[in-house]
Structure 1
Amino acid sequence: MDLRHLRYFLAVAEEGHFGRAAERLHIVQPALSVQIRALEDELGTALFVRSTRKVMLTDAGRLLVIEARRTLEQAERAKTLIQRAARGETGLVRIGFVGNAVATGRLSDDLIAFHAAWPGVALELHEMAPAAQQDAILAGRLDIGYCPAFGTAFDAKLSVRTVGSWSWQVVMSDRHPLAKRRTVPIAALMDEPFILYAADGDDEGQLAVLRQVLGRAPRVAHKVSSTLSVLALTGAGLGVALAPAPLSRIAAPNVVYRKLGKGGPRSELVALSRIGGEWGAVARYLAMLGERAA
């Protein structure tokens, strides 16, 4: 059923006259009569009792007035919602992240800025390993992913934006001999047992960092899947770890943070999205990331 036919029908029903309805709709009366007749043929029943002076609604016509108004109102609401979604004013942004995105403060800062600008957009968060984020974005289950850049190979179908860059710090027990130093030289870490952050078993990123820092494969004591586990094990003296400098904001029992000596790489955080998937609220979020990185 054509929405235009419903609008024409309501005009005739409300005016009670084909001529006045045609003037209201800015069309000629014969054309209006043809459209109403087409609607009646489609429905298989008369909607009006016609006379030379006025038209009156049949029982079917009176019922259609109620349904036509409801249908047109719903269509207008749908149009408004779609237009707002296209402008990024409403909708949903599904975001994947690793623990470091939270620990560095970058994710929460971005969420605060985006919600302040676009409060009508819902945000859905999922903690996921980098590889799982890529798969979910490419499959359309996720819109944006925050993950470390170093040691991660990115699919060519993904757009990659750097959103943060920090120096590395050494995380260790406050009882560790190296805790007495302000800066820990790389040479002093050669034989240290490392706590490796490996979300969902994905340890390639951390291993690549440690190989570049040490110049060889690290001695791995434990592999863990959360930042809190890293802090628990280092605080217990079961190994040392590398973490982005902002992680030192987290005060954990028996844990200290020390600067890493010169020569190491930087910790970079990137935002991933699917090329061609930047629409509506997702496009707004990505634009916000670009503005904050500028």
Structure 2
Amino acid sequence: MDLRQLRYFLAVAEEAHFGRAAERLHIVQPALSMQIKALEDELGGPLFVRTSRKVELTAAGEVLLIEARRTLEQAERARVAVQDSLSGQLGTVRIGFAGNAVFSGQLVTDLHRFHRAYPHAGLEVVEVPPQEQLDALLAGRIDVAYCPDHGGLATPGLDVVQVGEWPLLAAMATDHPLTSRVHIGLSDIAAQPLIIYSAQEDSDGVLDVLRAEFGREPVIAHRASNTLSVVALAAAGLGVALVPASLAEIAMPGMTYRAIMHPALSASLVRINRSDETTGAVRAYLALADTPEDGLDD
């Protein structure tokens, strides 16, 4: 017994006539009669009482009518659910982010566009320290990650896409001596204790620029796992932090930002995902995030 036979049975039951049912199904009547006979043989008894004037359901046919409708309705629900899942209309996208992704506005923009296009899909957003994001992606705990590019992100099985780049600012406490200047140079912070992200490695491009400028290793006073920790330490006067310029749009008590006169100092934000992703909602999210705003139809 298959779904096609149930559809044939339902058409005959509703039309109470083999000829009309065959027309409705767009098949010839002998083929329809053959399929109904095969169904009756499989179930072990007649489903219809056939006369020259009418076709009526037997008691067993009445039972099958109820179950056939339920089965076909459930099959249709399954079809729609699977297609919605494949297209991204259903499912959940699990997103890990570092604080810079929020402050840059890129994450918020991508979330808004996806929810507008796929309102029934779920979004789970959790802050994950940059140094833990690659492991979380590879282990399947998150589907997409947004983090600063501190080098070392090239990993087999993962795709890395740059989604933003901003000059770095010096963030410091409001009573720091350097706040008296509108712009500062790297030489001004050469002797300052620095606060950096834990994710920054010794081979990080920013640290390389500082080494070249200072002629020695930078003085690293503290390493922090996330953006809020970095700015909290800087605002408390424990050192100077180099942060993306987008962060200056956030009013932080006790914090002052100053531009750094050095074109090579910049911060990149990247989006990372598994290269073999098959989940419909995740694929839809990535496709939308990679589509320019003017490439979307309202």
Question: What is the TM-score of this pair, normalised by structure 1?
Answer: 0.87
Matched residue type, 1:92: T
Q: How does 1:1-294 map to 2 (within 5 A)?
A: 1-198=1-198, 202-204=199-201, 209-215=206-212, 216-277=216-277, 280-292=280-292
| Deviation (angstroms), 1:207 | 5.6
Percent identity over the alignment is: 52
- CA–CA separation in structure 1 for the residues paired with 2:278 and 2:185: 44
CA contact (8 A) 1:151 1:205 kept: no
CA contact (8 A) 1:150 1:205 kept: no
* SS in structure 2 at match of 1:155: coil
| Deviation (angstroms), 1:214 | 3.4
CA contact (8 A) 2:185 2:262 kept: yes
Q: Which runs of 5+ in 1 are unaligned?
A: none
Matched residue type, 1:104: S
* SS in structure 1 at match of 2:290: helix
- CA–CA separation in structure 1 for the residues paired with 2:156 and 2:274: 9
Matched residue type, 2:42: E
| Deviation (angstroms), 1:196 | 2.5
* SS in structure 2 at match of 1:10: helix
The 1:293/1:24 distance shift into structure 2, 3 A limit, reads: closer
The 1:178/1:160 distance shift into structure 2, 3 A limit, reads: same
Cα deviation 1:219-240 (Å, max 9, x = unaligned): 2222222322222221111111
Cα deviation 1:59-115 (Å, max 9, x = unaligned): 222122112112212222332333334333443222221111012222112222332
The 1:67/1:97 distance shift into structure 2, 3 A limit, reads: same
The 1:24/1:116 distance shift into structure 2, 3 A limit, reads: closer
CA contact (8 A) 1:148 1:205 kept: no
* SS in structure 2 at match of 1:113: helix
The 1:23/1:126 distance shift into structure 2, 3 A limit, reads: same
Q: How many residues align?
A: 291
| Deviation (angstroms), 1:131 | 4.4
**CA root-mean-square deviation:** 2.5
CA contact (8 A) 2:129 2:226 kept: no
The range that moved more, 2-11 or 279-288, is 279-288
CA contact (8 A) 2:167 2:263 kept: no
